[in-house]
Amino acid sequence: MRGACDCHAHVCGPESRYPYASNRLYTPEDASAADYRRMLDSLELERGVLVQPSIYGTDNRALIDALASNPARLRGVAVVPYDIHARELEALHQAGVRGVRQNIVDLKEGRGVLPLDDLRRLALKVKPFGWHVEFLMHVDEFPQLDRQLADFPVDVVFGHLGYVPAAKNTTEPGFQALLRLMKDGRAWVKLTAPYRLTTSAMPYADTDLFAAALVDAAPERLIWGTDWPHVFIKTAMPQDGKLLGLLEHWVPDRAMRKRILVDHPAQLYDFTRP
């Protein structure tokens, strides 16, 4: 499909050139920009968005070099310190970055915390560039999410269908708060990585309920991605073509799928509209 975009993927390695953070949770296999472009070609996707993985912290060199390999085709989401200077943001923008990522998942404490004051200050810094803030967080941990982010200065994006374990339900207050944010036009959600919500096998049927709720609530606030190369995965390695097939299952309407694959990414990531 012309202009179709994978909105969530990562590049990793080689470690000899792009050293990993010492406190990382995993060490991935090498996954280069060239590998990624070949994957996009195999799915007939014209565009991709590379998201800075946690293994690099705020060292965005691997991301920036990957974006430089095909600047018309690729955009990026970086991880930056709260005290970043506007000059550094400008350089990232010129490199193709269009958002910043915040990891709110706390594997040690068991529950994430939203540093709202720091996040608002960062959002005000990136707002002049038209960027968004992307969250990796379990939205079910935040029942007041819509109130907490009601006056947030920029759009927010949530990965992995809101990252609610499939053992829970769409009635979770935090998930309902996410739906309200979407309906209010404040939040986007990525239809990505259903395998991170469940221990079931492809097609991850116990995640369908969450996908259906998102599609029913605000399909105009959805985007899709592969989560390639599927790092830190605890289930069987998925086939990217089958992940794309899940989108057809979740969104049977072809016109809406086109909006999710083409129009919404063009808007959010500043691609030229096809």
Which residue among the candidates 227, 253, 263, 270 is catalytic per the annotation? Answer: 227
Helix (H) or strand (E) holding 153: none
Alpha-carbon dihedral angle through residues 150, 122, 193, 170, given to the nearest 10 degrees: -20
DSSP structure class, residue 261: I
Which residue's entry shows tokens 């996009």? 40
Is residue 73 within 8 Å of 274, Cβ to Cβ? no
> Is 227 an annotated catalytic residue?
yes
Which residue's entry shows tokens 């998942």? 105
* Number of neighbours of residue 220 by Cβ within 10 angstroms: 15
- Calculate the alpha carbon distances from 27 to 21, 24, 54, 109, 229 in Å: 10, 7, 10, 22, 12
Catalytic residues: 227
